[in-house]
Chain A
Amino acid sequence: KQEVTQIPAALSVPEGENLVLNCSFTDSAIYNLQWFRQDPGKGLTSLLLIQSSQREQTSGRLNASLDKSSGRSTLYIAASQPGDSATYLCAVKVQTGANNLFFGTGTRLTVIP
């Protein structure tokens, strides 16, 4: 069964710092990997989608990379802002069964003004 792990579980940084969030998964048979943002008590906002054939995707200050063979992805956030404070979840779409997403437990990010 696919397992997704996110490290660290929580991260606190001063405003303006660049930071990296890590995601690892156990089964490389995936279609794609998605990074989501979740504010407290709210739903999921999709940030970046990387197809299995791609190595990275960029959107504004966000850059996500994927190394499918080693089962790793990183989300790089440049010049962090207090508004970036949220929980960041990564999820992989498996190639078997329902093609559902398997999620990690998230990294809770706090950006201190």
Chain B
Amino acid sequence: DTGVSQDPRHKITKRGQNVTFRCDPISEHNRLYWYRQTLGQGPEFLTYFQNEAQLEKSRLLSDRFSAERPKGSFSTLEIQRTEQGDSAMYLCASSLGDYSYEQYFGPGTRLTVT
């Protein structure tokens, strides 16, 4: 098992374009989380899935953001009509369950909106 992977690692896009990121969790993990980290800040929770069900979204997740996890495996995070304020590191994490289970993080996707 190689851990949580994310693709792409870096993305540069122009304002107004749509972008999509992918996260592949550790294979047996049923919980998948997305976080966003801006410069100089700690990561902030965006949304999470239990299997294929998206169970909670934070207020940070505007209508331009959508996330999916078809078949409870990999997940995608799409940002439509990107804005410069979307520039950040997008981190994915997975865990074997809820409660006290540890979350394992991927390397992140760094988005730059010009």
Contact = CB atoms under 8 A, between A and B. Distances in A.
A68 interface: no
Main secondary structure of the interface of A (DSSP, over half): strand
A12 interface: no
Interface string B41-71: 1111100100000011000000000000000
Interface stretch (B11-19, B80-88, B97-105): B97-105
Contacts of B89: 43
B100 A44 contact: no
B110 A44 contact: no
Given A43-B91, A89-B42, A103-B44, A97 B56 contact: yes
B61 to A, nearest CB: 12
A31 B100 CA distance: 5
B106 interface: yes
Interface of A: 4, 31-32, 34, 36, 41-44, 46, 49, 51-52, 89, 91, 93, 97-106
B45 A44 contact: no
3 tightest A-B contacts by CB? A103-B42, A100-B45, A43-B107
A42 B108 contact: yes
B91 A44 contact: yes
A56 B74 CA distance: 34
